[in-house]
């Protein structure tokens, strides 16, 4: 088993289902205390109860939070900060893909709000606990989808133009997801530089292609029907299961081999190359400044 986590506190967003659930189970199996954060209360409590049923003492708790709501994120961080003086691992895993353009409670498009803004704010607010828990690790779940697209449009960061007024669009959803995952990488690389020497490492992870999780449940039309055989065949062959996809999450969060490694992009439990666009320092600083302005923290 990769890495003893006895006595460590880990927080996993999107931990109720899919790869987040697998990650939470694995960290708890290594002895960690795990805080499962999700907006799916029933699945979150089931995951918590499963972990605790397997342990000699309670190791897991569930914390409800809508990551797209900045107010909810602030409430979550305040609660965690009040009860846990230190934190050793933060896994920013939660994500969505939705062909309908929806807005967060703060008026931001949901891919941007959930994947980027919520995690940026949560990470910033939990830095005191991570500093106290050093050596600590921040793991941001990105995607190979960051490669497939033209990059960010700073005139359309709220993803209005890509829907072109349509009621729904799978193509627009993929474009928004591409941008959100690119934001995850910009955030990872910029934060890693800012925290270098602090005892906190920051790395990004690719789980692979078309991992069969509930993130795709909102697909519609030909995309939905096309996804069915892809997911079915991949799962049959064991190529795109949540367990396989989460292996790199767990490796980067727990492996002694990753101790001290920061500012990297991992795929298949090895350091990989992110796209040249994702490594652009000018864009990542510009995005950081914009995000700090939106969230009110990190300037």
Query: pLDDT tens digits, residue range 65-93?
Result: 999 999 999 999 999 999 999 999 999 99
* pTM for the structure as a whole: 0.92
Average pLDDT over residues 109-135: 98
Q: How far apart are CA 115 and CA 282, in angstroms?
A: 21
pLDDT of residue 164: 92
Is the pLDDT confidence value at 231 over 70? no
pLDDT at 214 over 70: no
Q: Where are the domains of the chain?
A: 9-291
- Stretch 94-106: mean pLDDT, rounded? 94
Q: What is the DSSP string of 91-133?
A: EE------SS--B-TTS-BHHIIIIIIHHHHHHHHHHHHHHHT
User: What is the mean pLDDT of the segment spanning 23-39?
Assistant: 97
* Rounded Cα gap, residues 172 and 162, in angstroms: 5
| pLDDT, tens digit, 9 for 90 and up, residues 87-98 | 999 999 999 989
Do residues 26 and 52 touch, judged by C-beta distance below 8 A? Answer: no
Confidence of residue 133 (pLDDT cuts 50, 70, 90): very high
Report the percentage of the chain scoring pLDDT > 90. 81
Active site residues: 177
| CATH (residue range 9-291) | 3.40.50.720
Pairwise CA distance, residues 188 & 205, whole Å: 10
Instruction: Please check the confidence at residue 279 and state whether its pLDDT lies above 50.
Output: yes
Q: What is the pLDDT of residue 225?
A: 45
The model's pLDDT over 176-212, given as tens digits with 9 standing for 90+, comes to 999 999 999 999 999 999 999 999 999 999 996 555 5
Give a three-class secondary structure readout of 32-56.
CEEEEEECCHHHHHHHHHHHHHHCC
Q: Chain-wide mean pLDDT for the chain?
A: 91
SS3 15: coil
């Amino acid at each position: 088993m990769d890495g003893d986590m006895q006595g460590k506190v880990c927080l996993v967003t999107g931990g109720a289902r899919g790869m987040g659930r697998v990650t939470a189970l694995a960290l708890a199996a290594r002895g960690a205390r795990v805080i499962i954060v999700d907006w799916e209360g029933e699945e979150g409590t089931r995951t918590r109860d499963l972990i605790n049923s397997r342990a000699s003492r309670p190791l897991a708790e569930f914390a409800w939070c809508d990551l797209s709501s900045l107010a909810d994120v602030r409430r979550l961080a305040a609660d965690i900060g009040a009860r846990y003086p230190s934190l050793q691992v933060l896994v920013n895993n939660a994500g969505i893909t939705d062909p309908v353009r929806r807005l967060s409670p703060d008026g931001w498009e949901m891919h941007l709000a959930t994947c980027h803004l919520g995690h940026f704010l949560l990470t910033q607010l939990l830095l005191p606990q991570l500093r106290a828990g050093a050596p600590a690790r921040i793991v941001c779940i990105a995607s190979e989808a960051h490669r497939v697209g033209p990059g960010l449009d700073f005139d359309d960061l709220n993803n209005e133009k890509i829907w072109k007024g349509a009621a729904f669009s799978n193509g627009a959803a993929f474009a928004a997801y591409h941008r959100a995952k690119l934001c995850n990488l910009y955030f990872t690389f910029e934060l890693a530089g800012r925290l270098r020497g602090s005892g906190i490492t920051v790395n990004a992870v690719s789980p692979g292609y078309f991992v069969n999780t509930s993130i795709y449940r909102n697909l519609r039309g030909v995309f939905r029907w096309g996804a069915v055989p892809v997911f079915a065949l991949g799962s049959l062959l064991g190529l795109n299961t949540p367990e396989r996809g989460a292996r790199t999450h767990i490796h980067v969060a727990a492996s002694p081999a990753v101790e001290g490694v920061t500012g990297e992009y991992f795929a298949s439990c090895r350091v990989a190359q992110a796209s040249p666009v994702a490594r652009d320092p000018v864009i990542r600083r510009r995005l950081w400044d914009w995000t700090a302005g939106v969230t009110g923290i990190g300037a």
